[in-house]
Structure 1
Amino acid sequence: MLCSNGPCWADRLYGYADDRGVFNFSDAPSDPRHRLILEIRPPRPVTGSTAARAAATSLRRSPGQLSPLIRDAARQNRLDPALVEAVAFVESRFDERARSPKGALGLMQLMPGTATRFGVSDPLDARQNLAGGARYLRELLDRFDSLPLAIAAYNAGEGAVERYGKSIPPYAETTSYVPKVLAHYSIIRNRPPGAGYGWNATELPPDTRARARCC
C-alpha cells in the first residue's frame, strides 16, 4: 500500500477466477491463486531522456491531457469518467491514432460501422472518438443492465453477448478484456493525482482468461 496525507491506496492489484468463474480482486496476494495484473506507479520527474521519448510518441496522450475530454464524454452520457478512462487505456493506451488489424480506430478503438452509428465523422479526433465510445458504453449499459456484460459487448459485440444467453462470451480475448477493464476502473477511481499505471508484463495467465466468464 502507498499512503499520503489522505487515505492509503493500493499500488498493486491481484486477481484470480474462482471455481464459479467469478473474478476476484485484492490489493494483496492473500490467496495462492492470485496473480499480479495491475500496477500503479508514482509520478516521475520529466528528464531530458523522458522528454525526448515523450516527444517521439506525441500522439500517445497522458490521462491528465485527456481528462477534460473524458469528463465531457462521461458527463454527457451519465458515465463515471473513470470507466471511460479505463476503456480508453485498455483499448489504445491513450494513442489517439491507434489502428487495429481489424480496422478499429482511435482512443476507444471504434470500428467504422460503430463510428458512423454514433455520429463520429473522424474517429482519429480524440474528442469525437471519446464521445462516440461513451455513447456506445451508455447504450450497452442500458441494454444489459450489467457493467461486466456491457464491457464484454463493447469488446465482442452485442450479438455475441446475446448468443451466449446474456453472459460473457467464452472468447479468450473477451474473457481477458473484461477483468482488465474492471481492474483499471477499480484502481483509477482511487488513483492519487499524477500517478501513472501499467499492466504487469505477464498479463493474465491463460488458465485465468479461460475461466473468467463472469465478474
Structure 2
Amino acid sequence: MSQLTKAITRQLQRQYAEPVFKASNGTWYTGADILEDLALCETSLQQQNVHAGQAILLSPMQAMTIPSLLLASWQLGLTVTLTPPSPRLPELAPQVYAAMVYSPTQTTQLATQLDPSEISVLTLILNTAPNFAYLVHDHAQPLARHSQPDLILPASQLQFTQSQLLKLAEHGHPREQVADLYDFESGLLPCLTDLITATPITMQATKNAFLPN
C-alpha cells in the first residue's frame, strides 16, 4: 500500500459511517460504501490474476466508481489509464490492458465481439454501481516500460506517480463540488484532496452525461 492509498483509506475508515460522496441524483455514500467497493474491485481483479506491472483502462460512465477503482488498481500496482467515455464503441486493446472498464451498455456490446478464451466479462454489484461490469484479458503481459507512471491521462497528456499525486493533493484546495473526474485540475485532483482531508464531495452531473450507461 502506497502513502497515497494509505492516507485515503485511513480517512475513509475514519468516515466509515459518515457521508463521503454525494451522487448527482442526491444519494450519499459513506466511507464504508467506498471501502466495500474498493475491496470488492481489488479482490475481483486479484482473482482474475491481474497483478502488479500490468495496466488497466478506466472509462466508466458511472463516475462514482472511479475513486474505488483507482484505489484498488493502485493497491495492486497497476498503471491506470483514465480516459473520458466516448459515444462511439471503443476498440479493444487487450495487448495493452489487462482489464478494461467501460459503460455497461458498451461492455454489453463489446461482449458480443469477444473471444471468450481470451477476454472475460466480470460483473460486480457495487454500492456505487449495482450493474457494474468490466473486461479482463486472460493472457495480458506486464508493461514493457523503463519507468511506469501510476496514472496516465491521455486527454490532457499527463502522467503521474502516486507520490506525485500525494504531494499535489496535500497542497491542493478542497472543493465541496466536483463536476468531472476526467478533468485533472478541476475534478480528479480536488477529489483526491477531499479524500485526504475528509471533505464531503458532491458529484455534479458531468458533460458526458448524455452518453449511454
What's the TM-score once normalised by structure 2's chain length?
0.34
Higher strand share: 2
Larger radius of gyration: 1
What's the TM-score once normalised by structure 1's chain length?
0.33
